[in-house]
Amino acid sequence: MKGGTKILRRALDGVLLLDKPLGLSSNDALIKAKRIYLAKKAGHTGTLDPLATGLLPLCFGEATKFSQDLLEADKTYEATMRLGIRTTTGDAEGETIDTRDVTCDEPAVVEAMTRFLGEITQVPPMYSALKRDGKPLYEYARAGQTVEREGRQVTIHALQMIACALPLVTFRVTCSKGTYVRTLAEDIGEVLGCGAHLTALRRTGVGALTLEHAVTLDALALLDEAARDARLQPVDALLSTFPAVRLDDEATKRFLHGQRLRLADVVGTRFEDGRVRVYALDSGRLLGVAMAGEGVLAPERLVVASGA
C-alpha cells in the first residue's frame, strides 16, 4: 500500500519465458516481472546466478504447481571459460587464487572436453546454495571455511566447442539437473593442467523451452497489458514432454475429485507407464498431471477451473 491506495493484484495463469539480464538474481527478476504484471502469485523454475543471463521460465498462478517439473529437466547453456586462472568462486566474480601458463592448443582442449561426456561425478562448489547443517555452503565460504562435500552424479549429454581464441574457450553444453557449469569449466582446466574459470554463462534451453520466444524485462515494461498477457505461454508449456491423456465428462469429474481411474476406462489412449498430462476430451482444458502405472491413472496435481 502506498499513499493510502491499495495495489490490486491480478489472477494470472501461464508461463513467461524471461531473458534474464546480467547482474540480477533470479528472485529479483521474478519480483520485477511480478510487479510489471501486478500478479497475485508467481514463482521461478530454478535459479540462475547473477553472472548468468538467458532463459528463466517464470510461473504465474496455476503454473506454479508444475514448476518442479522444470527443475527436473535438462538444461542447455553457452559458456565461456578463461584458461590459466582459477578463482575463489569458479567464475569471474571471485578473486584470483592461482595463475598458470596456458600451453595447450585447441585440439587438446577438444580432447579434454570429450572426457566429460556422459555420466560424471562433480563435487559441488563451496560458493553454492547447497546446505550443510542447515547453512548454505556460500556462508561457510565467505567465512573462509571449507567443508567436506560429497561428489554427485550428473550427466553431460552434449559438450561442443563453438569458439576458441586461447586462453578463451566458448562451448555449448546440455546437462542434467544439478550440474554446475563453472565446476565443469574448472575440471576441464585441471585436465589441461592450467586451471580455468567461467567468464560468461547464458542459458538457452530448459527442457523443451528455448530462448526463441523469450522477452527481456525492459521490453516487457514497454508493452501494454494485453500485449504483456499475450507473452504468457499456457500452463501446459511446462509439461510438453509428458504424453497427453484425454478424459470424457464422467472421468473428468472423477479425476477432478482426486479419484484414481482404471486405465481401461481411459478410452482411446496409448502410453507407457509414467507421468502424463491430463485434458478434458470435449473442451481440451488442462486438468492436471497424473501418474500412470499398474493399470491405474492416479491424480498428482490438479488445475482449478478458474485457472483454465
User: Does pLDDT of 173 surpass 60?
Assistant: yes
Q: Which domains does the chain have, with CATH numbers?
A: 14-73+208-237 (3.30.2350.10), 75-206 (3.30.2350.10), 242-307 (2.30.130.10)
Residues 157-165 have a mean pLDDT of 98
Distance in angstroms (rounded) separating the CA atoms of residues 204 and 299: 32
| Predicted pLDDT of residue 265 | 74
CB 87 within 8 A of CB 197: yes
| Predicted pLDDT of residue 2 | 52
Distance in angstroms (rounded) separating the CA atoms of residues 6 and 4: 7
Q: CB-based contacts of 50: which residues, under 8 Å, 6+ apart?
A: 22, 23, 24, 25, 93
The angle at the Cα of 40, spanning 35 to 44, to the nearest 5 degrees, equals 70
Q: Please write the tens of the pLDDT for every residue from 76-95.
A: 999 999 999 999 999 998 99
Name the catalytic one among 49, 91, 187, 236: 49
pLDDT tier at 231, thresholds 50, 70, 90: very high
Residue 117, classified by CB atoms within 10 Å of its CB into exposed (0-12), middle (13-18) or buried (19+), is middle
CB 158 within 8 A of CB 54: no
Cell of 122: 562433480
Q: Please write the tens of the pLDDT for every residue from 121-142.
A: 998 876 666 777 777 777 776 7
Q: Which residues pair with 277 in a beta bridge?
A: 244, 289
Q: Among this protein's residues, is 133 annotated catalytic?
A: no
Distance in angstroms (rounded) separating the CA atoms of residues 64 and 46: 12
pTM check: above 0.85: yes
Residue 196, classified by CB atoms within 10 Å of its CB into exposed (0-12), middle (13-18) or buried (19+), is buried
> Of 34-38, 90-94, 169-173, which range is least confident?
90-94
